[in-house]
Amino acid sequence: MMRHRPYLVGAAIGLFGCVAIASSPAKATPCSNLQSLQLDDTTITSATDNTSGVFVVPGSNPPNTIAGLPAFCRVTATLIPTADSSIKIEIWLPESTWNGRFLGTGGGGFQGVITYGELASGIQHGFAATNSDLGTGVSGCSPLYCGSDGNMGNPLAIAFGDPAAPSTGLFGHPERIKDFGYRAIHLMTVRGKEIANAFYRQSAHKSYFAGCSTGGQNALMEAQRYPDDYDGILAGAAAFNRTHLHMAGLASWQNTHASPGRFIQPGQMTLINQAVLAQCVGRDGGASTDPFLTDPRDCHFDPKALLCTGGKVPPACLTADQVTTIQNYYAGTIDPVNGQVINPGSERGNETDDVRALGLAFGERLPEPAFDGLFYWVFGPGFGHPASAVNFANFDFHHDVDTVDDQLAAVLNADSTDLGEFREHGGKLLMYHGWADPLIPSQSSINYFNALVANGGHGFEKASFDEDGSPALRRTQSYARLFMAPGLYHCSGGPGPNTFDALTPLVTWVETGVAPETIVATKFVNDTPPSVQMTRPLCVFPKVAKYSGSGSTSIAANFTCVADEPDFNQTPAPKFGP
């Protein structure tokens, strides 16, 4: 496992509140009996009791030990829906603390591994929990790499697990691409429920899914393709517009490598962030003392303000070339011929020099673009060679986009806004996204939510900003709600209150009909519990948290959620998704 991987996967489930046990645990069959369970296209490879309270992550060096676990039955299995598939799953089953609920969980990037932290969080809060490697592990994939020209000796690439030798990921394996796109998470759900039913001798009374990043894509794909799999779905920072999101990574790398002078030096992202905050903080509903923006769409900072003048030189200022780089960073991924937006740009306020946040400071220092493995699946090994017709350095954002979309978009992009079947069976969707996300543009989740409103409103109508809300917004919020998190990086970390429990409000919504209006987020000192630095309410979109004008700005109770004014939200051209 990668040392920095938690920043990719994030705390998808968040800090759980108390999820009440709704039923007495059923008498369970011995765990080891599950070894002989016969399921379609499934090989159960192990079924063992763990009563030690600890779990050592397989293959971790030094050993990564998860403590504080209840006694549980650990089942590992391989799913083989096609001759070329090999999907690894695990399901962890609390032996005496089951709350009667089933929990599917997601991971990040190209996955390729089991996300054990999600399984541990699940059973610690009473759920029967399952996770999958999405079928990419058999191709040697890791969260960051699933196709690569090798790390080329780059120390940052090596530190983040880039394999030394070139690889082509899922090139030539269309069935594995389908597994990654949607099939693995569905079959994990179906088989996971069957295994849990056999163990507890009864079905879970409710089923939930929680994931962030790729886990968020999995979440939306489940709601769209398999609406009966889950009663409640939690989708964080969803990578739902997958092909165009990865193109944004290519564009960002090309942007900083267009010439030697375009590269952003260490420390300069922090310089830019400080200038952004100095101009904009407190003008968007938050407090003037916040080290983050509450709604970055109200900020129109121009990096020209940092242009080197007089005797100043980088990194204390930006050259004209560097100003161009940052202007492009905010502008998004653009078709150079017709000007169409392929993927939204980065929001102001997400600038960071922390490479673990997987933003520009990380991507520009790699020998090839972050997450470009996706394009090896289409173009093969040539994508890693500058002499090839199409490669990471010359990818043409006018001619090559359709080539990728024609092969991958229908399989990978979870961009349908038809959630009618999910809604009709009582399903609830709770989305969240960090306003300071340096990896997936924050407004992407707003675009998807607005598209739901438009679809539910029988016409194009964005989220209303009046006090009562439009009929289309009210209809949408009856089954789908979005919470934007100020100061949150990609799924975890960031300068704002970045820890919150979004699953318990989802459970409450599904099981009692009480929809969440606010979620309290916490910022711990040095991001390490238990010492609290501040709390802040996350407001149901499109509302924002506004300081009441008295009392500490570190206490959530001194903020109220109020209607926001209409803000411009950059959207892709219609052909590139919501």
What is the dihedral angle through the alpha carbons of 109, 113, 118, 122, rounded to the nearest 10 degrees? 140
What are the phi and psi torsion angles at 300 (to 5°)?
A: -125, 40
| CA neighbor of 518 nearest in space, from 496, 502, 533 | 502
How many CB atoms are closer than 10 A to CB 63?
9
Q: Is 381 left (phi over 0), alpha (psi -120 to 50) or beta?
A: alpha
Rounded Cα gap, residues 238 and 185, in angstroms: 15
CA distance 480 to 476: 6
d(CA 567, CA 446): 11
Of 290, 437, 501, 564, which residue is the catalytic one? 437
Q: How far is CA 206 from CA 95, 182, 194, 231, 417, in A?
A: 18, 22, 14, 6, 24
Q: Are 329 and 302 in contact (CB under 8 A)?
A: no
> CB count, 10 Å around CB of 563?
15
Residue 458 has which token pair? 């029988």
Is 437 catalytic? The answer is yes
Question: Given 86, 213, 444, 445, which residue is catalytic?
Answer: 213
Q: Which of 137, 226, 233 is nearest to 428 (CA)?
A: 233
Tokens 């052909």 locate to 575
Dig out the tokens for 360 from the structure: 């520009």
For residues 56 and 74, what is the distance between their CA atoms, to the nearest angstrom? 13
Annotated active-site residue in 173, 490, 492, 501: 490
Distance between CA atoms of residues 446 and 457, nearest Å: 16
Q: How far apart are CA 278 and CA 275, in angstroms?
A: 5
**In 267-408, which ranges are E strands?**
333-334, 341-343
DSSP 123: H
Q: H or E element: which one contains 378? A: helix 373-379
Q: What is the DSSP string of 533-569?
A: EEEEEEEBTT-EEEE-SSS-TTSGGGEEEEPPPP---
Residue entry with tokens 């394009």? 375
By the 10 Å C-beta count (0-12 exposed, 13-18 middle, 19+ buried), 84 is classed as middle
The DSSP call for residue 307 is B
Report which of 379, 373, 368 is spatially closest to residue 145, judged by C-alpha positions: 373
Q: Cis link prior to 542 (omega < 30° from 0)?
A: yes
Q: Give Cα 254 to chain centroid, integer Å.
A: 24
Q: Within the chain, how many helices (H) and strands (E) appear?
A: 16, 17
| 490 part of the active site | yes
Q: How big is the CA angle at 246 (ends 447 and 391), to the nearest 5 degrees?
A: 145
List, by residue number, the catalytic residues.
213, 437, 490
